[in-house]
Amino acid sequence: MTTTQHTSVELDIDGMTCASCAARIEKKLNKVDGVTASVNYATEKARVLTDAPIPVADLIAVVEQAGYHAALPDPERPEVDHAAQLRTRVIVSAVLAVPVIALAMVPGWQFAGWQWVSLALTIPVYVWAAWPFHRSALVNARHGATTMDTLISLGTTAAFGWSLFALFFGHAGMIGYTHPFELTLQRGTGEGSIYFEAVAAIVTFLLLGRWFEARSKAKAGEAVRALLQLGATEATLLRGGVETRVPVDFLKPGDEFVVRPGEKIATDGEVVDGDSAVDASMVTGESVPVEKKKGDTVFAGTVNGEGALEIRVTKVAGDTTLARIIRLVKEAQEQKAPTQRFVDVFARYYTPAVTVVALLIFLIPPLFVGGEWSQWLYRACVLLIIACPCALVISTPVSIVAGLTALAKRGVLVKGGAHLESIARLKALAVDKTGTITEGKPQVQGVEIVGRVVDSEVLRIAAAIDVHSSHPLAKAIVEHAHNRRIDFPRGENYQARSGRGAEGVIEGHAYFVGNHRFTHELGVCSEEIERRLSAIESKGQSVIVVGHRPHGDCAGEALGVIEVGDTVRTNAAEAIRALHAAGITSVVMLSGDNQRTADSIAKQVGIDEARGDLLPADKVAAVKALREKHGSVGMVGDGVNDAPALATATIGIAMGGVGTDAAIETADVTLMTDDLGKIAETIRLGRRTLGIIRFNITFALALKAIFLVLTLIGHASLWLAILADTGATLLVVANSLRLLRSPNSHAVG
């Protein structure tokens, strides 16, 4: 079997004015052989996956041919402030539009020749201020495509063109010409109808909407910029007892640097001297500083408290936890949710359909029904303006970006809008026990002798085998042996038995270390051992049996039982209640521990169901069964041992992702701390995001439908069209940005 290697390329896109532009670029890129591209209007990014090496210049050329600009991301390149550019056009347009609108609305102000003054003031608005709309329409027209800007350009051009006709060829240009301001379809005969105020108002209000939209997009991306600014630029390098200030990029693994009170920690590392409280809120979402001492891990971008720390570098600047978080947040914002993809497809076909309908409205009635051309032109213009789906296409991406940003501020990383929508639809949740419900830091509670050895010998054998393992129970045994100053060798021929234990050879003898299930599989679980194991497990403790492994003529035997206990997280019960309150109907704990231990833990924290004695494959099967029963199921684990189950679930959620590469890379959602309560918070915010998206789409479509009907029957005006389109856009954007308010959990529900 051959595996295709994909190469990922990110491009900055400039020149897009609406979601239809993004759809057009995406379509062009996807026509290239071996290319799968996704273009996000909200972030102005394109992510391109290629099956074979394709020069980046070729990809940029495709975008340029479509009429837009593309470039590789460059941190040194100043970011284009689209909001500032639009602000200038809005101000100029508004200054010129106000007198035009005032003259049209107040007949008493219509002095001799006022219509020509209106023309002079409207020309710069139509030509310069509205140029982004016209340019986009022309670019797409050359490629046989239409966008929202096509509707705007056609509508304003029709109104402006007809007004010029009425001035130069009709009687509207006569000195002394006046007209009343009416919200009607017609001001008289066609030759006397001028709509300069409509042109000026349309351009000004739509530019205002675009400016507001640009500001909202920038605001929704503030999380990434805040993270980028979070990192330190310099560090105090300590070498040979001499301190030197150097750029962060100068640091390499093994170097030591000093962090004084109030300074940012330059890169990920290990504390070698000193102790202090470190504020990690921007990385983990925790508001309370965490005490750090010798041997503890610290992360780039966190802020040192009142103590001085000496830190050894473990990761260079580009590989730090902060750097990974930044990459993940950016990638997540660039991915499209299913709802957004639907809206993009809708807009792609909706715009040309509306253009054709408007053309038919202008041509058919005057030719076959009768009536003034100006009347039907007016209706066509109203249709073009009211039909612009600005509110529809911007509502979803802004909501998704705002939701992802809000969660990032809370120390929750979601890998894209699709996962955010899936979170909102969760009905059941499977949770691992160790490290999720419990602290994941078990300790040896006691040793019971079964054979003819002393307890120290049992610990010596177990530690010699478990020293090879990274499992929490194994680490607890090794640590306990060290604390008791028991010397032990490193076992040979180490073999891990997934979900059961491990085997190894010590000083020429074969031994095993394993759970209750493993003793049955090996055939060494006597009635006496079974009684002892049951007694320990009834207390909710884990049992580790140590003994001779059966081999050859040796039947094997148990030598002792190590009792290991883990501590339930202090907020576990509260977190489970919060999950139920958030709409999770079933919380199921999946554990490799025995059923008695699993039941005991589940009862303590209020979990609905516990399943013990599970191997990794059993956990996968359990998750599949839950999916068949509930449809949408989340799996919570550490992102390493539970990787298969995490991948099987609708949503994989990794706990404690700070410093854990596998957790960040494996899961769909990563909690940067071990706070189980953040899961319910994430679900609530996901549902709130989906609710806002649904409201925005429903509102935008309903408003368009109402006004389209009013336009067709002759009861809508350009002014109502302008106010409806701009107002709807402002409303849905403002509604989406509510997700960025208070980072506290109570603001989410």
Q: Annotate 110-123 with b (16+ C-beta within 10 A) or e (fewer).
A: beeebbeebbebbe
DSSP letter assigned to residue 508 = T
Q: Which of 255, 268, 279, 432 is catalytic?
A: 432
- For residue 382, CA distances in Å to 442, 484, 579, 729 come to 70, 85, 49, 17
| Backbone φ and ψ of 11, nearest 5° | -125, 140
* Cβ atoms of residues 417 and 337 within 8 Å: yes
Instruction: Outline where DSSP puts E strands in 27-175.
Output: 35-40, 45-50, 69-71
The Cα 612–Cα 726 span in angstroms is 58
- Collect all residues with Cβ–Cβ distance below 8 Å to 59 and sequence separation of at least 6: 9, 11, 29, 32, 35, 48, 70
Whole-number Cα distances in Å, 329 to 220, 246, 283, 608: 12, 28, 12, 34
Give the single-character DSSP code of 275: -
| Among 434, 449, 483, CA closest to 463 | 483
Q: 């979803």: which residue's tokens?
A: 396
**394/677 Cα distance (integer angstroms):** 32
Q: What share of the chain is helix, strand, coil (3-state, %, to 5)?
A: 50, 20, 30
Q: Please give the C-alpha separations between residue 627 and each of 427, 623, 634, 666, 682, in angstroms, as whole numbers.
A: 9, 6, 9, 19, 20
Instruction: List the one residue out of 402, 478, 406, 473 whose CA is nearest residue 440.
Output: 473
Single-letter amino acid code for the residue at 382: V
Task: Please choose, from the candidates 186, 343, 350, 204, the residue with its C-alpha nearest in 3D space to the C-alpha of residue 705.
Answer: 350
Q: How far apart are CA 304 and CA 13, in angstroms?
A: 38
- Spell out the alpha helix ranges (H) of 303-454: 321-334, 338-364, 373-386, 390-409, 417-424
Token representation of residue 363: 């041509």
Looking at residue 474, its amino acid is A
Can 33 be counted among the known catalytic residues? Answer: no
The amino acid at residue 164 is: L
Residue positions annotated with a catalytic role: 432
